[in-house]
Structure formats: C-alpha cells, structure tokens
Structure 1
Amino acid sequence: MKKVFFSLFTLLIIISSCKPEIKPTKKPKLVVGIVIDQMRYDYLTKFMNRYGDNGFKRLLNGGFSLKNAHYNYIPTYTAVGHTSIYTGATPFSHGIISNNWYDKFLKETIYCVDDKNYKTIGNDDNYGQKSPYRLNTTTVADQLQLAQNKRGKTIGIAIKDRSAILPVGHTASGAYWYQGSKANQWISSSFYMDNLPEWVTTFNKNSKADAYLSKPWKTLYDIKTYTNSRADNNDFEKPFNGNTNPVFPKDIPNIKSKNGNYSIISSIPAGNSFTADFAKAAIIGENLGKSETNTDFLAVSFSSTDYIGHRYGVAAVETEDTYLRLDKDLANFFSFLDKEVGKDNYTLFLTADHAAVHVPSYLQSLKIPAHYIRTRKMRSYIDSLTLKHFNSDKLIENISNYQIFLDKKELEKLKLDKNIIAEKIVDEIVNYPEIYKAVSAKTLQTTNFTSGILNALQNGYNQKLSGDVMLIPLPATLGSGRKGTSHGSGYSYDTHVPIIFYGNGIQKGSSSKKYNITDIAPTISTLLDIEFPNGTTGKVIEEVLKN
C-alpha cells in the first residue's frame, strides 16, 4: 500500500511539473477607442471591395470582429451611444437619455453636456460651458484613472462636444471639441483645465481647416464606379445652401459662407481627416503611450459621417465616398500609431454610436413601408383623447423623443390619477397611424421584458428622467422632412453596428454570436485588469481576449 501511495504521489508531482506556464499578457501602453458616428454594420461589407488593405481591412484581418453586435436600448442617439459604449450601461442607469431631453424638474428642454458652472477654455464664447455632470456612472476611462491613481492620461476628442466629453467621463485629463463658425478652434471647458495646452494652441494657429476648405469636394474615384450607391442626382438628399441639386462636385470654398463658415467642415469628409490630425497632435503633445508603468486612454469620435449621413442618407454617393476616404484616414492613423506608440503597445476598438435608416421617402419609392410622423398633429390627437375621456385638453406638458410627459399640477388640480390617464393614452394612441406600440412608465417599472423591442425600450427608460408614456413608431418612421435620414429607434437598421477589437491582447477571428454594445466596456476592463464601470450591465466577450 505504501508503494502504491508513493507511486501516485510521484506521478502527481511529475504531471504538475509538466504544466505549461501561463504568462499574463503585457498590458497595452495605450488604449484607443474609435467611434464612427452613424456607421451601419453593412458599410463594412457593402464597400469591402473598395477599401484598401491598411484601414478597415487591417482591423478585420488582424483583429476580432463581431458581426452581430447591436444596441440593446432605445433611443439610439449620439450622446446615448457614446455613453453606453464606455460605461457598459444603458440609460436605465447611466442617465443620458438623449442628446436633448425635456427636464420635468426644470420644465425645459436641456442639452446633455451643458453646464453653466464652467467657462470656455480657448476663447470668450459660451461654446465650452460643458461638463459630464449629468452622467450618473463611471466610464472605463474613469476606472482606469481610479486604478492607476490618475497616473495615466485619458483624452477625449471629437468635433461634437458630447462625443468628446461623455466617453472619458468625470476624471479625464482633457476633452476637446471643435468650434466652427467664425472661431475655427479646438476648445475645452474649465471643468478640465485652466488653459489650453501649448500643443492645442499651436494646432489652432496652424489653421489646417483653411487648407481643407480651400478645395471642392470631388469623388475620390470616377463617379461612374460608385455602383454601390443610387444616382448622384435624386430627390432624397438635401443640397447645401447655395446649391440647387445635391450633386458632385461641391464647391466648398464658394458655399462656405452660406453654410456656417468653418462649421461646414463637419459636413464633408475632410472633417474626419481634421479630427485624425488633431488626435495625432494629442498623442504627440501628451506623450500618450510612452509610459513604462501606466496605460493611457484616447477616445476619438469621427463625427462627419453623421452629418453627411443625415444630409444624404444611407444609399448616397456622398456616403460611399465618405467611407472610402475615412478608410484612408484610418490607415494613415494606424500607421502613425505603429510608429509613435509601437505595434505591440496599443489596443484599439472600433464601433459606432448608432446606425441609420434608409431615407423613408426613398423606401416609399420602392414600395417598402416607411412613414413620416408629425409631432404637432399627434399632440392634437392626444389632446382630443384627454378631452374626450377626462374633460380636459391641458393634461400634456410635453411630447419629445417619443415620450409623453403629463402635467402633474393640472392632474392634481383636476384630481386625476396619472396612472389612469397614462394607461388610457396607451390604449388609444396605438390607433394613431404611425404608432406601433405604447407603454406606460408604470408598466416599465413593474414588468420585466426580457427580449424584443420592449426590452430595448425598458433598457432606455430612466425612472427619474423619462416620461409617463413611451411610444414606439412603426419601422422606417421619421419625424423630419422627406430629404435625408436619421436614427433613434430600436429596429435593426439603427442598432446593428460594427465592433472590432485589435492589437495587444486581442485574438484574431470573428463571431456571429449576438453581443450588445454594453459588452465593450467590461471586455476592455478585463483586458486592463481593472474594475468595471460602476453601472455596467454588459458581459465580457471572452472569445476576443487572449489567455
């Protein structure tokens, strides 16, 4: 018996000594988050044969792509998307419920990052009176700062203020956005700093925008090769002021003054190039990715894709040309990262803050169901309902973002129960032609929807901030004019976006499994071995990570 025991014991020692040593992956020196505003997933596949090898294809071939990634809440707007990417949470907890929303306490419509407690850094205008104070939770950038006791740097960059501010959260080293019009400056807020760093001042003095706006926007290639898009001249796109038709070439120097002066750069592909230029300047100016002991974080959002998408739509030559040019900008940026930070020293993810629907009038021309809804007309309809059932047409305080806010003072004066009013509106409003579903706040608070579009609605509902009745329009329904497009729904054309991870610690491959946008933050947190953002509801995408 002793011999048997000794033999087994010896064998266990031998087996344990043969185990391969698992070496932890070295943490990246820099994490780069790239958000492309309004990028649909199918822009990857639709334009694939026209992309070069070193932009989107480099990420797809060398990184890990999620083919079935979606937003899991309503509404799919810019501020909400950027916040959810970096918090791993939905409006249910992070509190950014739209770009603008009706504040039922202030009784006015507010903008997500406005904050008069701070001043503009860069000039004397009020364009920089911003902060992330309405964001209730931390971001992955905040958690990195906490983990490293603020020894690393976190920087947010975008033409749009909300897209620069919300990703890097409350503890950022800096957030910068572009003020066009007559200013032509990258600016910040006194929330972050007292003065612009020297590298920002130098960049502004160089006035790269002038070079970009000194030439017309022509297609990158022969316009006849843009076969992925509809005809250039059509009735579904909005021309610039000063132009009769939305056609190429676009004489930017001569129409600049009629289209916001320097602000026009946001509505042409050069806005993306301009943003990439500023991001490179930030990496050099802040020495990002140079520390031997700490990880830095750079959040870059390309906003021009959204402005262009809104104006021209999903199937436009302008949209195709914008993505072909962006592909070149990305290739150049990745090459810059290789040189300045080192190929093995950075981790990158690329995604979008939402997608977009085809122009509804274009869909109608193809006999595909699509609709336009008029809020004022719907308001009159709802007022007629409350007048009919409760003898008052003054019960509605506000309708916005497909939410109905009841006037609590009026209800109290008339001694009416808000839940009874809300449920009656829910029962009746679904008879309105463009409305598909309606749910009361009470139902969202007491019922758990585990899947489908009502689950998305519930994830986007915030008990403290949202309205008393939530509406869901029919698919392909917009409230704007018949030219151009928008987003905001929980349908797949708005929710399906690319998510690609690349670089240090990332596997090569792809997956068609369903993942949510809220899974990015916990995955990056796991890579960095830091605590998740404090409102996270997403999960770690294990197949993306090495080891």
Structure 2
Amino acid sequence: MRFLLSTATQLLLSCAFLAANAHAAPSEEAPKLVLVLVVDGLPAEQVQRYRSQFGKGGLRRLMEGGASFSNAHQAHGVTVTAVGHAAILSGAYPYQHGVIGNNWIDPVTKTSVYCTQDTAHTYIGETTRPMDGTSPARLRVDTLGDQLRYATGNRAKVVAVSGKDRGAILLAGKTGTAYMYMDETGNFASSDFYMKAHPEWVRSFQAAKPQDRYYGKTWRPLLPDAAYANDARDELFPATPASPNRFPFAFYSESGSIDADYYNRLKPSPFLDELTLDFARAAIDGENLGNNPAGVTDVLGVSLSGHDYVNHKYGPESKMSHDHLQRLDRMLANFFSYLDKKVGADKVLVVLTADHGFPNTPEFVKESGGNAGRVDPAKLVTALNAALAAKYGNDKLVIAESAPNFHLDYAALDKLGLSRIEVEETAANFLRTQEGVAEVFTRHYFETGAAATTRMQLLMRRAWNRELSGDLVVVTKPFWIFGSSSSGTSHGSSYAYDTNVPLVLSGRKWIKPGLYGQYAETVDIAPTLAHLLRLRPPAGAEGRVLNEALAGAPRAQ
C-alpha cells in the first residue's frame, strides 16, 4: 500500500520499479477528445455484479476494450461528491486541493459554506440561491484541463456538464466551462464566472425544453423480473401515498403542471442522466469538441448524477439501483455510438470512474445479520457538549459541526484557561464511547505528523486540511452512517465500500486492454492523461502514471 512504507524503502522500491518499467512512450498521435465520465456514487462492486446483464456497446465495451482496474480507490477519508470530483482531474488529495466536503464550516465565521459557492457570481438566466455553486474559487489547485489550456494558448476547449453544480465545476477546473442542471427549470445553465451570456447552441437546447418530455411518463424495470431476483425486498423501502418507493415511478407535479416539483422528481431517475448526455451531445456539436480547428485535444467531463440520488434513496442493493445502472449502460452505448460517428472511434480516449462508492442501507445490513445504524451529528454534539460541561463548566464548547468535522470554541476555551489539546482528547475519548463511532482523530494528532500505520489513518490524513478541517474528525463504524433520517443510506467513510470505484481507460491507440488487479487511485488519472498528452501534471498531483495499462509499455523483467 502506497505511503505506508518508510521513505528509504519506498525509494529503493521506486528505483527498482522504474528501472524495470520505464514509462511507455506516448503515441505520436494524440486523441482529439478526452472524455472523462464520472458516474456519481457508483461502487466498483456493482459494475462487477451486474456486468453479465450489460449490453454490448456501453460499459461492456469499455471494460472489454479498455484497461479496467478492479482495485481502484478514491483514496481519501471523506468520500463525498465534491471531494471525489476535485481529485479526479487535479490528481490531488483534499489536504492540498482544499475541497474537504460538499459543505464545511468556515474557520472564521463558524457558519456552513458550500464547496462551489461564490457569491460574486450568479447563474445565467436562472435564480441563484445563497448556497448554489457558481465557480471553482474554493478549489485550491489546477487541473489537467487547466494544464492543457495553458499549453495550447487556451485553444483547447474544456467543457464539463453534470446534474450537480459541483460535479461540473470541479471537473471544469479554473479555466474550463461548466454547465449544470437547474432544479427549478430543468435547464442546463452556466454562471457569469465563465461567460456573460450563453452561446447560441445552449439557448437552442434550452428553447427545445427536452426536460419536459418525461412529464406523465413512468420508470419501469428494463429487464425481466428474474433478473432482479437477488436484489433487496421492496418491503425494505417504506411506502407512502406520496412516495411509493417501488416500481413503477411516475413523473408529475402535485400542482398538475410542469414546475420545480416535477424537475426535482427527475433527479433520482434515469432521466436526469439521459438529459445530461443529451446536453453533452449538444456541447460536442456546438463547440465542435474533438474536431478543434486548432488541431489540439479537447476535454469533455460528464458527471452523471442520477445513480447517486437513487443509491441515497434506496441503497445499492435495491432493484431501483440495479435497473438504473442497466439503463445507464444503454444510454452510454448510444452516446459512444454517437461519438464514433461524430469524432471517430480511434480519436477518443475515454476514462470512466466514480467520485465515491456506497454502503448498503442499515436496514439491509441488519436484515442480513450485520451491525449497522445511523449516527445523528446534532445529537452527538448535544451529548458531547453535556459531557464537556460536566467536566469544564461550559455548556457549549463544541460550537459547530459538519460531519465528520466538529469544531471547538477557541474563545470559550481561552476564557476558561483550558488547554485545547486536553479538551480535544477529552472530547475524543467521550465520542469513542458513543454508539456507531469507531475512531476520532484530533487536530493535535494531525498536526504532530505522526506516521500513519493503518489505512484509515493514511486516508484521514489526506482528507484533513489544516486551515479548513475540524478539531475533531469522527469515523463511524463499518455500515454506520451519519444522518438523522430513518431510511436510505449515505457515504463518506474510509471503508472499501466507499473508496473502491471503477477506473477504466479506453482508447486502443493509447491503452492496453485487460483486467488489472494492481492498486490504483483516482489521483492517478491526471498524471496518466498528462503523460499521454505530453503535458506537465497539475501542480498538486500526487498520483502515478498507470504505466501497466499503456500501449507499448515494456514488460517487467
């Protein structure tokens, strides 16, 4: 496992590896388009579990015609959407890239901030709410796309689209252009950080209102009933008149007309991803991606958000998640067929990965005999403050939380003359006794720089940013999740079900097909693409070139 060995041992092993495995020389012919596909919330095990049911032209095409890494990870300890997307094309861990969560606590104001929030900018032609994502200002490093634009005098085009603002913005980097789904209108729009007005192709796409075509439609299982025999029972998902939580799902609005209620109902469904891919096609046509007149490589990032919404609501064990992935597979097959005709099958390099995996719902785990549950962060703070008050006489020494980060009130500690280190340890020891809590890391632990001796320690160190993260970082037990709801599931831990994600590279001129068991990380994507495109890696990149998967790579002696 990387970075757990001593520096001297790592150096010796690195020298031996490099001697036997010099990087494969990049092809003289660069790809015309690099397509980076991120399936939000897709665990690697789902791809393997359902692969026999995939069609020929989608996920199966990538896995059989490309290099597929089965042991690939989002290798940081807070596995959520923003953190994972920031890692993919920056090659950096959160301690450097500065995106430590979807939300976190501002160290000065002690209020919650959003990962791509920037009040200096607004959406173009759309309502902008206080916590909406409008720019990459909080991303502290550059990306592969930024390096490509620097190297080509900004002639290369970098475009990203997603059902979530953070999915698009963090793939687009500092100099690309991001488009995101608008919950209130169902449009895809950008912000005035990127441009003053949308180009004509965006206005044409919006005018056609493709998002309205699903009104009154239903989502039914794609495959015969027998195909879902091993999925979780429907009874695990409580049904209400408003939310039946089982097939078929109808898409409508309580008002009886197309409105924001309807557009939000599209999110936990295959239709959001279909719209995202439709917009990606429009971007390829409108921006001439892959056929750049300047003759340079373009980058298109497509983050497909629907699977994450479905998994949150029903869990990866559900029939809904199973069917969503099958439908997504068929959508990708159509998209790849379009790319073959528009750009050329031998001119596109494809990367497929995910921003994080997913645990099963606690109810499913418990029904299977496991230990699982939910930890309510607000209740945890209340209990912790009561315990600290009993010892120190102040009833609110923990001033804010954005799980897994908990923040102490430094002013109160100083007023009482208390040692921050002592209070951290007292708090950590109390939290370790609470149901569902596996471990607690303190600011003092991270700042002392003690060597990581376990994988959890390593991943949590990577996730902790000295300026932004909390004084206490809580890790739940396996299959325990943070949350106050009574259904569904979430992610964010350092356990394998949250870190293990697909990583597939495809493009026969540049990639050597095969199933690879070597350990890999999503931070390896940016250095690998930089190598193939003959670019300088992004400044914060710490990954390696996935040399074993490159066409022409020499064999180890």
2:114 equivalent to 1:101 = no
Write the deviation string for residues 258-290 of structure 1: whole angstroms up to 9, x where unpaired: 982212211111111111111011000000011
Distance, in Å, in 2 between the alignment partners of 1:401 and 1:60 is 36
Pair 222,129 (structure 1): closer, same or farther in 2 beyond 3 Å? closer
Quick one: which of 401, 406, 426 aligns to 1:399?
Answer: 401
Equivalent residue for 2:18? none
Where do residues 437-516 of structure 1 align in structure 2 (5 Å cutoff)?
Answer: 437-446=439-448, 447-480=450-483, 481-503=485-507, 504-516=509-521
8 A contact 2:169–2:178 mirrored in 1: yes
Equivalent residue for 1:3? none
Equivalent residue for 2:275? 274
AA at the equivalent of 1:513: Q
SS of residue in 2 equivalent to 1:409? helix
8 A contact 1:34–1:351 mirrored in 2: yes
Equivalent residue for 1:112? 115
Pair 444,219 (structure 1): closer, same or farther in 2 beyond 3 Å? same
Write the deviation string for residues 220-260 of structure 1: whole angstroms up to 9, x where unpaired: 123343223123x213x3658723x3221112236686982
Distance, in Å, in 2 between the alignment partners of 1:228 and 1:282 is 39
Distance, in Å, in 1 between the alignment partners of 2:180 and 2:79 is 22
Identical-pair percentage: 34
For residue 371 of structure 1, report the CA deviation from its aligned partner. 1.9
Equivalent residue for 1:252? 251
8 A contact 2:114–2:133 mirrored in 1: no
Q: TM-score, normalised by structure 1?
A: 0.92
Equivalent residue for 1:136? 140
8 A contact 1:180–1:261 mirrored in 2: no
8 A contact 2:377–2:403 mirrored in 1: no
Distance, in Å, in 1 between the alignment partners of 2:90 and 2:238 is 35
Quick one: which of 142, 159, 162 aligns to 2:163?
Answer: 159
For residue 88 of structure 1, report the CA deviation from its aligned partner. 0.7
Distance, in Å, in 2 between the alignment partners of 1:267 and 1:253 is 13
Where do residues 373-388 of structure 1 align in structure 2 (5 Å cutoff)?
Answer: 373-388=375-390
Where do residues 319-334 of structure 1 align in structure 2 (5 Å cutoff)?
Answer: 319-334=321-336
Distance, in Å, in 2 between the alignment partners of 1:53 and 1:129 is 37
Equivalent residue for 1:18? none
AA at the equivalent of 2:357: A
8 A contact 1:347–1:501 mirrored in 2: yes
8 A contact 1:234–1:246 mirrored in 2: no
Quick one: which of 104, 128, 150 aligns to 1:146?
Answer: 150
Pair 194,135 (structure 1): closer, same or farther in 2 beyond 3 Å? same
Write the deviation string for residues 371-412 of structure 1: whole angstroms up to 9, x where unpaired: 221223322221122123322222111122222211011112
For residue 171 of structure 1, report the CA deviation from its aligned partner. 0.6
SS of residue in 1 equivalent to 2:78? coil
Higher mean alpha-carbon deviation, 246-255 vs 193-202, is at 246-255
Equivalent residue for 1:408? 410
Quick one: which of 191, 206, 209 aligns to 2:208?
Answer: 206
Distance, in Å, in 1 between the alignment partners of 2:459 and 2:432 is 18
Q: TM-score, normalised by structure 2?
A: 0.90
Larger C-alpha radius of gyration, 1 or 2? 1
Higher mean alpha-carbon deviation, 221-230 vs 354-363, is at 221-230
Distance, in Å, in 1 between the alignment partners of 2:228 and 2:274 is 21
Where do residues 218-257 of structure 1 align in structure 2 (5 Å cutoff)?
Answer: 218-231=220-233, 233-235=234-236, 237=237, 242-243=242-243, 245-253=244-252
SS of residue in 2 equivalent to 1:478? strand
Pair 129,523 (structure 1): closer, same or farther in 2 beyond 3 Å? closer
Higher mean alpha-carbon deviation, 33-42 vs 508-517, is at 508-517
Quick one: which of 520, 528, 541 aligns to 1:523?
Answer: 528
SS of residue in 1 equivalent to 2:113? strand
8 A contact 1:371–1:434 mirrored in 2: yes
SS of residue in 1 equivalent to 2:352? strand
Pair 79,129 (structure 1): closer, same or farther in 2 beyond 3 Å? closer
Query: How many residues are aligned here?
Result: 522
8 A contact 2:58–2:329 mirrored in 1: yes
AA at the equivalent of 2:268: S
Distance, in Å, in 2 between the alignment partners of 1:89 and 1:37 is 19
Distance, in Å, in 1 between the alignment partners of 2:240 and 2:91 is 37
8 A contact 1:46–1:228 mirrored in 2: no
Distance, in Å, in 2 between the alignment partners of 1:129 and 1:246 is 29
Pair 455,490 (structure 1): closer, same or farther in 2 beyond 3 Å? same
For residue 184 of structure 1, report the CA deviation from its aligned partner. 2.5
Higher mean alpha-carbon deviation, 159-168 vs 450-459, is at 450-459
2:295 equivalent to 1:293 = yes
Distance, in Å, in 2 between the alignment partners of 1:82 and 1:462 is 17
8 A contact 1:120–1:126 mirrored in 2: no
8 A contact 2:107–2:467 mirrored in 1: no
Structure 2 spans left out of the alignment, 5+ residues: 1-24, 553-557
For residue 439 of structure 1, report the CA deviation from its aligned partner. 1.5
For residue 124 of structure 1, report the CA deviation from its aligned partner. 5.1
Pair 400,150 (structure 1): closer, same or farther in 2 beyond 3 Å? same
8 A contact 1:122–1:186 mirrored in 2: no
Write the deviation string for residues 339-382 of structure 1: whole angstroms up to 9, x where unpaired: 11111111110000001000011211221111221223322221
8 A contact 1:101–1:111 mirrored in 2: yes
Distance, in Å, in 1 between the alignment partners of 2:238 and 2:306 is 15
Equivalent residue for 1:17? none
Distance, in Å, in 1 between the alignment partners of 2:125 and 2:225 is 41
2:368 equivalent to 1:366 = yes
8 A contact 2:83–2:101 mirrored in 1: yes
Distance, in Å, in 1 between the alignment partners of 2:56 and 2:363 is 36
2:173 equivalent to 1:169 = yes
Pair 266,368 (structure 1): closer, same or farther in 2 beyond 3 Å? same
Distance, in Å, in 2 between the alignment partners of 1:398 and 1:229 is 39
Write the deviation string for residues 34-68 of structure 1: whole angstroms up to 9, x where unpaired: 00000011111211121111111101111000010
